């Protein structure tokens, strides 16, 4: 069975109000006033009174609240290609840059999106708008508008776009943590360009990790349903019987590329956190516990003398990380975060993903059969609580890579002194190279690279016709590539 992102074939911002006074200076940047999205969400929740559902669910009201708030998205990607009249022209072009005929190739793709505010903020999947030169949004009333991409987060496959509009129908967030297995849900989107399509099903599982977004910092904790989702549904809404948004439809499991029984959605609590970050900072703000988690198996439980196989095993504790500072030790078992039980690595990652650096969380830990509670302050990847700004990353069109300078934590973990981490792969040399996101480029043509200027100089000063890339995989293995 093939797992694929549907549409092209994928938190609550729980700012802790009990910040210590001495930490307020570092955290003031993170505690911004409510965003336009938050204000709109709060306003509508105050106005709309939902009627409790009967024992037999009625989907009519939920469908009516949803169809006008889910939009059709068409994207255009323009790529240039060079053609030659004959074989020798092509050979000269490859060897010596002999000019050929340049033409533009336009690729068109389709997906869905969910309106979050009356003035036109729309959430969709990153893979729906990734690399797009033009984004067109069509509403249920057939009105079309051009959208601007506000920000994207490949690690969760989410994107925030904006159209100029007023008085749009929009959906309010539900609490995905409270979604229960067996609960009825609706999937709303535009499969096969069939606009405003509604399908129903139940939640069949939670916290599914499909390993379709890559390794490293990607977060996968899907809500699994049997509501029919097909190509074109990507970015559409998963709503409960109250008409609340509980997920963004993202992927299907299929042999054929069409729906065969299971679909997957990104939980709304993660969606809310990511879109707020993109609106406030232009980049997502990720809090880290500073541990390497592992699934707690029966073998590990017996080795550690644990009676129950409940929780997430702490395989390693990062030096200088939040957990280490608080007192968490290797071999501990994390059983809950802020009172929410975690029993898998995916559940733990989903929960932490809903917080920002600087937020305080409580970890309940089982150590040798005794339970301990630790208060710790989440840190960012660089080991502090600073805001990660959009300008820290940059795009290199020659490689088709979004890059950012390596953090101190990664320097220590990978045993390197400098480098540029790949945070996104777009059209270009690396698209089909097998090089993954989170690969760290340490040298280009023999020159050490640690920022945009280093990379540009390394490419400019090369005396060879081919480019040599040296770097480190996320698991620490070295790699060298030639282009």
Query: Between 36-47 and 268-281, two packed helices, what is the crossing angle to 10 degrees?
Result: 140
DSSP state for residue 271 in the 8-state scheme: H
State the catalytic residue, choosing from 234, 254, 263, 268: 234
Catalytic pick among 157, 359, 438, 454: 157
Cα–Cα nearest to 268, from 205, 359, 209, 354: 354
Nearest to 155 by CA among 342, 27, 10: 10
Q: Rounded CA gap, 320 and 100, in Å?
A: 55
Select from 386, 373, 441 the least CA-distant residue to 410: 441
Separation in Å, CA 461 to CA 31, 97, 393, 444, 450: 45, 17, 23, 10, 16
- Concerning whether 433 is annotated as a catalytic residue, the answer is no
Quote the tokens at residue 108: 């068109």
Contact 375, 360 (CB under 8 A): yes
Q: Residue 471's beta-bridge partner residues?
A: 441, 479
**Percent of the chain that is helix, strand, coil (3-state, to 5):** 20, 35, 45
Report yes or no: 318 and 289 within 8 Å, Cβ to Cβ: no
The answer to whether 300 touches 192, Cβ cutoff 8 Å, is no
State the Cα–Cα distance between residues 469 and 254, nearest whole angstrom: 36
Cα 145 to Cα 124: distance, rounded to the nearest angstrom: 15
Does the active-site annotation cover 226?
Answer: no
Residue 157 falls in the annotated catalytic set: yes
Per the structure block, which two tokens stand in for 254?
């299929």
What is the three-class DSSP state of 341? strand
- Catalytic residue of the set 13, 112, 127, 359: 127
Q: Is 452 helix (H, G, I), strand (E, B) or coil?
A: helix
Phi/psi of residue 301, nearest 5 degrees = -60, -45
CA atoms within 13 A on the CB side of 93: 14
Which residues form the catalytic set? 127, 157, 234
């Amino acid at each position: 069975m093939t797992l694929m992102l549907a549409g092209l074939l994928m938190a609550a911002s729980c700012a802790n109000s009990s910040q210590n006074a001495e930490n307020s200076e570092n955290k003031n940047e993170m505690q911004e006033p409510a965003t336009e999205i938050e204000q709109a969400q709060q306003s509508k929740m105050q106005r709309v009174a939902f009627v409790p559902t009967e024992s037999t669910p009625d989907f009519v009201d939920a469908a009516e609240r949803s169809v006008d708030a889910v939009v059709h998205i068409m994207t255009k990607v323009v790529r240039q290609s060079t053609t030659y009249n004959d074989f020798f022209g092509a050979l000269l072009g490859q060897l010596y840059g002999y000019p050929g005929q340049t033409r533009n190739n336009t690729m068109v793709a389709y997906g869905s999106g969910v309106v979050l505010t009356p003035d036109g903020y729309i959430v969709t999947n990153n893979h729906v708008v990734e690399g797009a030169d033009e984004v067109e949004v069509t509403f249920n009333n057939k009105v079309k508008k051009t959208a601007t991409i506000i920000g994207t987060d490949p690690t969760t496959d989410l994107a925030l776009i904006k159209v100029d509009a007023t008085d749009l129908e929009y959906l309010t967030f539900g609490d995905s943590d409270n979604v229960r297995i067996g609960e009825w849900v609706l999937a709303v989107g535009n499969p096969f360009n069939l606009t405003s399509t509604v399908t129903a099903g139940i939640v069949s599982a939670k916290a599914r990790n499909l390993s379709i977004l890559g390794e490293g910092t990607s977060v996968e904790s899907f809500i699994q349903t049997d509501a029919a989702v097909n190509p074109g549904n990507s970015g559409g809404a998963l709503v409960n019987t109250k008409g609340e948004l509980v997920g963004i439809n993202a992927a299907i499991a299929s042999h054929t590329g069409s729906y065969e029984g299971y679909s997957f959605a990104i939980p709304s609590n993660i969606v809310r956190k990511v879109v707020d970050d993109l609106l406030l900072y232009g980049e997502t703000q990720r809090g880290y516990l500073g541990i390497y988690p592992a699934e707690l198996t029966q073998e590990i439980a017996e080795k550690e003398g644990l009676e129950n196989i409940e929780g997430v095993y702490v395989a390693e504790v990062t030096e200088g990380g939040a957990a280490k500072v608080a007192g968490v030790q290797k071999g501990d078992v994390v059983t809950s975060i802020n009172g929410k039980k975690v029993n898998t690595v995916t559940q733990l990652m989903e929960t932490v993903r809903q917080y920002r650096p600087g937020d305080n969380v409580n970890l309940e830990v089982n150590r040798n059969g005794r339970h301990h509670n630790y208060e710790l302050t989440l840190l960012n990847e660089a080991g502090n609580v600073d805001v990660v700004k959009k300008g820290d990353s940059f795009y290199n069109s020659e490689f088709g890579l979004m890059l950012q300078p390596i953090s101190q934590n990664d320097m220590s973990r990978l045993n390197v002194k400098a480098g540029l981490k790949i945070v996104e792969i777009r059209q270009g040399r690396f698209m089909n190279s097998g090089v993954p996101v989170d690969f760290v480029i340490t040298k280009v043509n023999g020159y050490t690279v640690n920022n945009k200027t280093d990379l540009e100089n390394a490419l400019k000063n090369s005396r060879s016709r081919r480019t040599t890339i040296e770097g480190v995989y996320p698991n620490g293995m070295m790699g060298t590539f030639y282009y």
